[in-house]
Amino acid sequence: MLEQAVYRIAQEALTNIERHAAAQRVSLRLIRLACSVRLTIRDDGRGPAAAAGGQAPSSGLGLRHMHERAQLAGGTFAFKSAPGGGTLVIVELPLAPGIPDQVSLVSPPSLPAS
């Protein structure tokens, strides 16, 4: 459930950026904390209020869906934006008990024999 929530929230945020932000740069960070994971997505676009013709960004379905997904996973959702100043989405989701401290998402490269 955690992996799917992170994936879907990131997917929705990136889709919103592509459709509405006119951003030149986007950064996505996923870090593991002691008992949670934090997903941070930032762009340098025009912000959702400017993209929606001044309409409040909280009225967007994508933002609502990201917030609901975070809540269903027991986490938090934060959204900050300024017209012309980009957008920041921060999601923190709790880790399930029993997840090992060291999780490798990529196999390390093989080292040559010495």
Answer whether residue 16 is part of any domain. yes
Answer whether residue 62 is part of any domain. yes
Q: Residues near 107 by Cβ (< 8 Å), separated by ≥ 6?
A: none
Question: Which CATH number goes with the domain that contains 32?
Answer: 3.30.565.10
Tokens of residue 31, six digits: 């870090």
Answer whether residue 36 is part of any domain. yes
Domain encompassing residue 65: 2-94
CA-to-CA distance for 101 and 35, rounded, in angstroms?
10
Answer whether residue 101 is part of any domain. no
Report pLDDT for 105. Answer: 46
Q: How many CB atoms lie within 10 A of CB 90?
A: 16
Q: What is the pLDDT of residues 40-74, one digit of tens each?
A: 999 999 876 655 554 545 557 889 999 999 999 99
Answer whether residue 19 is part of any domain. yes
Mean pLDDT, rounded, of the chain: 83
- Looking at the structure of the chain, the number of domains it has is 1
Answer whether residue 109 is part of any domain. no
